[in-house]
Amino acid sequence: MTVLVCSDLDRTLIYSTAAFGNGPLPELECVEIYDGAPLSHMTRTAVRELAALAAETVFVPVTTRTPEQYRRVRLPVAPAYAICANGGHLLVDGVDDAAWSAAVRSRVAAGAAPLAEVAARLSGGDFVLRRRTASDLFAYAVVDRAALPAGWIDDLAGWCAERNWRTSLQGRKVYCLPAGLTKAAAAAEVARRTGATVTLAAGDSLLDRDLLDSADAAVRPAHGELHTAGWTGADVTAAAGILAGEEIVGWFRTRAAREIARRDSRVTRDP
């Protein structure tokens, strides 16, 4: 039996200093250096447990990061598959699957307004600090959260929805993505290629919801967009912040072992 484990990275498995949460911290390990400084971390227990999880399952990082941004992360494992750009890129042994990328772009172009139109809409006053496009697929802006005008996000979300795009506010970033660009579609492709019969998933943002909805079982941290929205479609960690990441890896190992035990039990009972 093959269990596929698909997990978001930022604020789900890996955490910047600003996302650590309150209270005393256990021993940490840096898993990402950016501009010569530590950026992302995991607890030492989470690092150890993730290595064990990857030996027991097909572990797949699933992120809105571009492939270049993803490659900065140094996890304790080297996954055979990684999903980047919210499903727009499928890396196989670290190499971009060109056929998958082309198919995604064709599907997105046929079903949503052009990227340039949406990127231009991501503007405003001084609260918009930077605007970017990623992988020629989606747009995002870095904003000053404290200075965001009331209703700006809701207005943007409504405007995008009319053009078959969706929005997500994560930390200081506002993302706009075409509706056809999903993590779930890429995860289903990995399940097909690996023959996985059970998929487990984790994530913290609205961009993770399709992945969590499509999984056989899912978990989310007690923080982030889904938590703020009170979304109840997945198990929820007891902890928030970086300790939730440790809890999520433990949840994956426990749930995967349970699914494998169920399969073994059925095989034993069958004549």
Among residues 124, 151, 178, the one where a domain terminates is 178
Tell me what pLDDT residue 263 has: 79
Q: So what's the pLDDT on residue 271?
A: 56
pLDDT digits (tens, 9 = 90+) for 146-168: 999 999 999 999 999 999 999 99
Instruction: Give yes or no for residue 267 having a pLDDT over 90.
Output: no
Element (DSSP H or E) covering residue 232: none
Strand 235-236 and strand 217-220: pairing?
parallel
Distance (Å, rounded) from C-alpha 198 to C-alpha 5? Answer: 9
- pLDDT at site 89: 98
20 and 100 both lie in a single domain: yes
Q: What is the H or E stretch that residue 264 is in?
A: helix 242-269
Q: Say if residue 269's pLDDT is above 60.
A: no
Domain span at residue 151 reads 116-178
Task: In whole angstroms, give the CA distance from residue 57 to residue 166.
Answer: 32
Distance from C-alpha of 249 to C-alpha of 192, rounded to nearest angstrom: 23
Rounded CA-CA distance 65/45 in Å is: 25
Q: What is the CATH number of the domain that holds 157?
A: 3.90.1070
Whether 190 is covered by a domain: the verdict is yes
What value does the mean pLDDT take over residues 170-198? 96
Which alpha helices (H) appear in the chain, and where do they start and end?
A: 44-56, 67-70, 98-111, 115-121, 152-161, 183-194, 209-214, 225-228, 242-269
Write out the two tokens for 140: 């995002």
Nearest to 225 by CA among 7, 10, 4: 10
Q: How far apart are CA 247 and CA 42, in angstroms?
A: 11
Length of the chain: 271
Q: Indicate if 35 and 101 belong to the same structural domain.
A: yes
**Same-domain check for residues 136 and 37:** no
Q: Long-range contacts of range 220-227, CB-CB < 8 Å, 24 or more positions apart?
A: 220/12, 221/11, 221/12, 221/245, 221/247, 221/248, 223/11, 223/19, 223/21, 224/11, 224/12, 224/170, 225/168, 225/169, 225/170
Residue 111 lies in a domain: no
pLDDT digits (tens, 9 = 90+) for 115-139: 999 999 998 789 999 999 999 999 9
* Contact yes or no for 178/165 (Cβ under 8 A): yes
Segment holding 24, helix H or strand E: none
Rounded Cα gap, residues 67 and 63, in angstroms:
9
- Report helix, strand or coil for 223: coil
Do 200 and 230 share a domain, yes or no? yes
The tally of domains found in the chain comes to 2
188's tokens: 């289903």
Q: Are residues 85 and 210 in the same domain?
A: yes
**Mean pLDDT, the chain, as a whole number?**
95
Is 110 contained in some domain?
A: no
